[in-house]
Amino acid sequence: MNRRGIMSAESAIEGSAVITHEIGLHARPSVKLTKLAKSFASAIHLRGEGLESWVDAKSIVRVMGLKLREGTTVFFRAAGPDASAAVDALVALVKRDFDEHRPA
C-alpha cells in the first residue's frame, strides 16, 4: 500500500501534537475537534500514533472511536483550500488541551 495513503494525489499539509488531556481524546474533546474540523472546507484526516489508518476528522463517531489516550501523538493531514489553517487550528486545539483547563 502506498504509505502516503488517501491524499497522496494532492500535496497534503501535515501536523502533529501530543494529547496532554489526562483522560485522552474522550467525548468532549472529540466533539470540539470534530466541530473545529468541520469549520474548514479541506478534507482533514487524523491518525493516532501506532495506528495504521487515517480517519475522517469531521466524523465524530470515528474520532471518538479512536479512544486516544494521554501521551499519544495525534497526526493531522489536510488537503484543500484552507488545509494549512486547518492543521494549524487543530494542532493548536490539542496543544491548548482542548481549552479544558481554565481556572474554575
Partner 1 sequence: MTGRVGIVIVSHSADVAKGTVDMVRQMVGHEVPVAGCGGNPAGGLGTDVASIMAAIKKVWSSKGVAVLVDLGGAETNSEMAIEMLPESWRGKVAICNAPIVEGAVMAATESAGGGSLEQVRATAEELSPA
Q: How many other C-beta atoms can be found within 10 angstroms of the C-beta atom of residue 56? A: 16
CA angle 28, 53, 92 (to 5 degrees): 45
Q: Is 41 in the site for partner 1 (CB under 8 A)?
A: no
Does 4 interact with partner 1 (rule: CB under 8 A)? no
Min dist CB 55 to partner 1, Å, is: 12
Catalytic residue positions, numbered: 26
Site size toward partner 1 (CB under 8 A) is: 11
Which strands sit side by side in the sheet containing 43-48, from one edge to the other? Answer: 13-18, 73-79, 43-48, 55-56
Could you list the residues that contact partner 1 (CB under 8 A)? 27-28, 31, 34-35, 38-39, 58-61
